[in-house]
Structures are given as structure tokens and as C-alpha cells.
Amino acid sequence: LPEDFDWREKGAVTPGTCGSCWSFSTTGALEGANFLATRKLESLSEQQLVDCDHECDPEEAGSCDSGCNGGLMNSAFEYTLKAGGLMREEDYPYTGNDRGTCKFDKSKIAAKVANFSVVSLDEDQIAANLVKNGPLAVAINAVFMQTYMKGVSCPYICSKRLDHGVLLVGYGSAGYAPVRMKEKPYWIIKNSWGESWGENGFYKICRGRNICGVDSMVSTVAAVNTNSQ
């Protein structure tokens, strides 16, 4: 595994913000996988997931994806697999509300899911899947993110109750921690709150202890190479 790795440097991460974190995390992972499969970076539609994805978790009655009321990345991958794929952002733009009807147009699919899976709670496996399969959809507890501005976040205490969906795009071997004069290995996370938040929209959280539950629910997705079709 490389010491440091960052998909942003390889052109696999789109810009962009979105109010529906679970669809942001889902589209971000599929954008990366689609880039790996087709070498094209396409910004995919979160609004299609918000309007059209009401996939339920088979294990939990009533736990269905529902726009601004929340969703799950794995259920969203399942929806995308069944629906045939996601449209481009430009063809199905983000409106910021979930009162619209589904306007999915099968003829305008830009990315297709081949398969998706959950990565075990093992940081080397998470790093290996990140390097091999592209950015990963992860869940996290966001309590420290409301006041976060920069640096490597490594709270002494942080709940592992997951309440936010983000995108894992890379990792660094050492992030300078001025206060404790320590070098800290960290994950690089793309958040959905815009570039005026955090480090130009990104968050760094230290590795090693499943801090804030960041290693607890990691999903990787593979895309179909639509170039050949």
C-alpha cells in the first residue's frame, strides 16, 4: 500500500455540494468507479436518488431511502443496480428538495453499477479497497464537524453512532498536529457542505481507532464500462 494516496490528484473526484448526504456519498463513489471503468469523470445526479430511490433495507422494515429524511448508501447502490444506472447531474440537476416526482430517463444513463460490497472494519482493507476500487462511501458521526475548521481531527471521545454519509478519497501518512506536536496518519474525506467549510470542503480524521465510527460502514462499488456499449 502506498504511504499516501489521494484520488483528487488522479482526477477521480468531482467538485460539488449537496444537502442529501447519503446520495452525495453514493454518487461520489460511483463517479470514482465510473472514472476507473471509463476514464471519464462524470458528475452524477443526486436528485435522481432523492426523487426516485425508495429502496428499503431488506432487514429492516420501514428503513427505506427517502430524500431529506435520510437514506443508506448500500440501499442506494441497490436501487441504482435495479434502475439501470444514474443520469448526469446536468441531465437531472439538483433542486435541494424532495417534493418532486421521479424524472428518471433510462436513455440518459451515464453510469451503471456492476456490483457493490461492504469492506470489513480493517483499516488496511479499507486502504486497499480505496486504492484498488476508487473513492469509498463511508458513514461517520458528525458531531465534531459542526465546529471543524482545519487540521487532523482526532477527538479523545467521539460517539460511533453514525449519522452522516461522506466520501473517503484518500489518506495521508502524517498530518502535522501543532498542539500535541505529533504526526498523525489520517483519512481524507470529501464532505457535502461546500468549499467554505473545513479544508476547502474536505475533512481530515485520524486513522487507527475507528474514530467517530469512520471505519464502521465502508462500501465500495464497481461500475460497468459503458464505453464498450
Partner 1 sequence: SAEAFSAEGSEVDPLIRQVTDRQDGAEPHLLTEEHHFSLFKKRFKKIYRSQEEHDHRFRIFKANLKRAERHQKLDPSATHGVTQFSDLTPSEFRRTYLGLRRLRLPKDANEAPILPTDN
Going 70 to 106 to 110 to 92, the CA torsion angle's sign is: negative
Based on the shown chain and the rule CB under 8 A, indicate whether residue 70 belongs to the binding site for partner 1.
Answer: yes
Kind of pairing between the strands at 136-140 and 113-119: unpaired
- In the residue annotation, 164 being an active-site residue is answered as yes
Chosen residue from 3, 99, 101, 179 binding partner 1 by CB under 8 A: 179
Chosen residue from 26, 170, 184, 223 binding partner 1 by CB under 8 A: 184
Q: Which of residues 23-42 bind partner 1 (CB under 8 A)?
A: none
What SS3 class is residue 77?
Answer: helix
Phi, psi of 226 (to 5 degrees): -75, -10
Q: How far is the CB of 107 from partner 1 (least distance, A)?
A: 29
CB distance 29 to 221 below 8 Å: yes
- In the residue annotation, 21 being an active-site residue is answered as yes
Size of the site for partner 1 (CB under 8 A): 67
CB distance 218 to 137 below 8 Å: yes
Based on the shown chain and the rule CB under 8 A, indicate whether residue 81 belongs to the binding site for partner 1.
Answer: no
Residues 35-60, buried b or exposed e (16+ Cβ, 10 A)? Answer: bbbbeeebbbbbbbbbbbbebbeeee
Nearer to partner 1, 13 or 166 (CB): 166
The separation between CA 227 and the C-alpha centre of its own chain, rounded to angstroms, equals 24
Q: Which of 18, 21, 52, 158 is catalytic?
A: 21
What SS3 class is residue 4?
Answer: coil
Q: How far apart are the first and last CA of the chain?
A: 33
Based on the shown chain and the rule CB under 8 A, indicate whether residue 217 belongs to the binding site for partner 1.
Answer: yes
- In the residue annotation, 54 being an active-site residue is answered as no
Chosen residue from 61, 99, 106, 196 binding partner 1 by CB under 8 A: 196
Chosen residue from 3, 61, 107, 146 binding partner 1 by CB under 8 A: 146
Q: How far is the CB of 105 from partner 1 (least distance, A)?
A: 26
Chosen residue from 5, 6, 14, 57 binding partner 1 by CB under 8 A: 57
The x, y and z cell numbers of residue 153, run together, are: 481531527
Based on the shown chain and the rule CB under 8 A, indicate whether residue 21 belongs to the binding site for partner 1.
Answer: yes
Q: How many Cα atoms occupy the beta-carbon half-sphere of 128 within 13 Å? A: 7
Residues near partner 1, by CB under 8 A? 1, 19-22, 57-60, 63, 65, 68-72, 74-75, 115-120, 124-125, 127-129, 132, 139, 142-144, 146-157, 162-165, 175, 177-180, 182, 184, 193-194, 196-197, 204, 206, 216-217, 219-220
